[in-house]
Amino acid sequence: MNTKPRKRRISYILLHHVPCIAILTILEIGSSSGRRCAQGMVIILVLAGPVRNISKNGDSVVRVMTCFTELAWNITMIRKDILLLPLDHISSVLKGEIKNEKERIEAKGVEKLWGLLEEELVGRNEINMLKRTKNEEMGSFLSTIDEKYNILPNDTEEQKIEKRFTKTLSYGCQGIFYNASRSCQVSFQDLYDNCYKTVTGVLSWALCWPVKLEHVCSMISK
């Protein structure tokens, strides 16, 4: 096969066409439109790198956002559990107190019910016990009950009995709520101490601050 004609054509292209194309390219770049074209190419090359990096890091950004969302959700659920745990304890304490009162009445029997009423009206054990254990907050509630059911000189015997019995029941109910409030405060304090010892740094404030709301317990007895 004769390769001389092919070599001649290649030589002709290199000697005539390539220099012509190079000269035309240089002239085009030197013009205003050529400069704008060169500037556009430079801008494209400059922006290509960051755009390529952003596209490559897209998966990482999605993973970070997903992790942050899950972390925020977990923190919210933990805070909810910490805050609701003392309230559940309060509910169980109230149920226990009411159950004890019910069992105490049932243990007396129907035939001894009047004896129980007489004990409540005359002995006033519930009132004496609460007055011995009261603090300043409890004392304000007991004083309110005393003023509300104070026996007046012109009261009839039926009114006196009704006031004594209602006063005793009010003392008993207030004692139940007071015990629940104290149990709530103790639960909140224990939870806060355990939470603060377990979690350190910024998370200790983010997770443990709900159990510092001890004044919520005071609302129970009001």
pLDDT number for residue 57: 72
205 vs 213: CA distance, rounded Å: 13
Residue 109 backbone class (left: φ over 0; alpha: ψ -120 to 50; beta: rest)? left
Residue pair 168/121 in contact (Cβ under 8 Å)? The answer is yes
Q: What is the DSSP string of 147-184?
A: HHTPPPTT--HHHHHHHHHHHHHHHHHHHHHHHHHHHH
pLDDT number for residue 207: 65
Burial of 16 (0-12, 13-18, 19+ CB in 10 A): exposed
pTM of the predicted model as reported, rounded to 2 decimal places? 0.40
Residue pair 108/119 in contact (Cβ under 8 Å)? The answer is no
pLDDT number for residue 102: 67
pLDDT number for residue 73: 79
177 vs 90: CA distance, rounded Å: 9
Residue pair 117/161 in contact (Cβ under 8 Å)? The answer is no
Residue type (1 letter), 16: H
80 vs 73: CA distance, rounded Å: 11
Q: pLDDT digit of tens for each residue in the chain (222 aa)?
A: 555 566 666 666 666 666 666 666 665 666 666 667 666 666 776 666 666 777 777 777 677 778 878 877 777 777 666 666 666 666 676 677 667 766 665 665 544 555 555 555 544 555 555 555 555 555 666 777 777 778 788 888 778 777 777 777 777 777 777 777 777 777 777 777 777 776 666 666 666 666 665 555 655 555
The total number of residues shown for the chain amounts to 222
H helix intervals, 109-120: 113-118
Residue 119 is given by DSSP the state I
Residue 200 is given by DSSP the state -
Q: Which residues of 159-187 are buried (b: 16+ CB within 10 A; e: fewer)?
A: eeeebbeebbebbbebbbbbbbbbbbbeb
- Tell which residue, 192, 187, 189, 151, has the closest CA to residue 168: 151
